[in-house]
Amino acid sequence: MSEEPPISDTVVSSEKLQVVPKNRVGVRENVFADQVFRGFVILCALAVLAIVGLIFFELVSQSRLSISKFGLSFLKKQIWDPVAEDFGALPFVYGTVVSSLLGLLIAVPLSIGTALFITEICPGRLRPVLSLLVELLAAIPSVIYGLWGIFVLAPFLRLHVQPFLATYFGWTGLFSGPKYGWGMLAAGCIIAIMILPIIASITREVIMAVPRVQREAALALGATKWEMLRMAVLRNARPGIFGATILGLGRALGETMAVTMVIGNRPEIAKSLFAPGYTLASAIANEFTEAVGNVYFSALMEMALVLFVITLIVNALAVLLVWSITRGMPSRSLA
């Protein structure tokens, strides 16, 4: 696809040759207007770059105090003491990573299953309905997930799921201690529900991108439907599914309100998933307006910086992976 339309080329070159007929008034003005318009949209594009740069710059400059005071130990310490103005982000990083991985663990198999169902099994008429349902799941605001998490999911976990897990899997050490309902497990479940749609919709698209002949070849060789899906579809779609997973991880790491409402908000590192935890994002949301003292502010800012850098890396990785499958035309569902 040639993008520069030929007409503007001829206008420019004819102008250079000074053969613009006098009666064609406005050519010069049009060339000028074209350049103004082009400049405007380039400015808009530059704004996107500028915003990301500005975010980074603001976060660094606001957290300078904390960076200079704690240095690298900020990421290694487990202390969170606003009174003594001593801060370490390790429990928050731990909480962020563990809750996100827990969410992925639940969401990825379900998403792949859903994507396969929508593309390969589901009868044609049901397909748009199911896609709409998944899309709606993505449209529910975080704070409503949190509301539901507090009043519905947490009591359900406390009364039904946690006793079961404690009885049969308590020996692993992952499911022991007091059963509040809310805590790391609840956060993982909520995150899973929230990232399901994004992983499922991108997986669906990479699965649909697998050429039809691949499927037909597998079936012609006598494969059952599942063998065809496994050997022809999933194998080809694997990098894309991995990209979708990483993108889901990026979402999970930055998930704020719902997690804040169910994770318990206690900066501790506990082995048990029943125990409360804290994440970088929820600490910022919870404490920022109440923070007193420059160091406290600055420490929260540095946590935002850590979160920003982590999600930027994770997202960059995911975008590159998905691009490699869809050939530079990332899907709308990236949104």
Residues 254-293 that bind other proteins (CB under 8 A): 254-257, 261, 281, 284-285, 288-289
Q: Using the 8-state DSSP alphabet, how is residue 87 labeled?
A: E
Dihedral angle at the C-alpha atoms of 30, 35, 40, 46, nearest 10 degrees?
160
Which amino acid is residue 302, in one-letter code?
E
Q: Which residues, 44 to 73, sit near other proteins by CB under 8 A?
A: 44-45, 47-49, 51-52, 54-55, 58-59, 61-62
For other proteins, the closer of residues 150 and 166 by Cβ is 150
Q: How far is the CB of 13 from other proteins (least distance, A)?
A: 15
Tell me how far, at minimum, the Cβ of 80 lies from other proteins, in Å. 18
Is residue 295 within the footprint of other proteins (CB under 8 A)? no
The sign one gets for the Cα dihedral 43, 45, 46, 52 is: positive
Q: How many residues bind other proteins (CB under 8 A)?
A: 103
Binders of other proteins among residues 94 to 153 (CB under 8 A) are 109-114, 116-118, 120-122, 128, 130, 132-137, 139-148, 150-152
**CA pseudo-torsion sign 284, 288, 91, 169:** negative
Instruction: Determine contact, residues 256/149, Cβ cutoff 8 Å.
Output: no
> Where are any strands of DSSP class E within the chain?
80-81, 86-87
For the CB of residue 173, give the shortest distance to other proteins in the complex, in Å. 27
Binding mask 200-239 for other proteins (x = CB under 8 A): x---------------------x-xxxx-xx---------
Minimum distance between the CB of residue 271 and other proteins, rounded to whole angstroms? 27
| Closest C-alpha among 7, 27, 30 to residue 18 | 27
If binding is defined by CB under 8 A, does position 14 make contact with other proteins? Answer: no
By the rule CB under 8 A, 316 interacts with other proteins: yes
Q: How far is CA 16 from the centre of its chain?
A: 51
If you search the block for the tokens 């050519």, which residue do you land on?
27
Report CA torsion sign: 35, 40, 41, 45. Answer: positive
Binding range to other proteins, per CB under 8 A, among 83-91, 164-172, 177-185, 327-335: 327-335
DSSP letter assigned to residue 143: H
Residue 186 CB, shortest distance to other proteins, in Å, is: 13
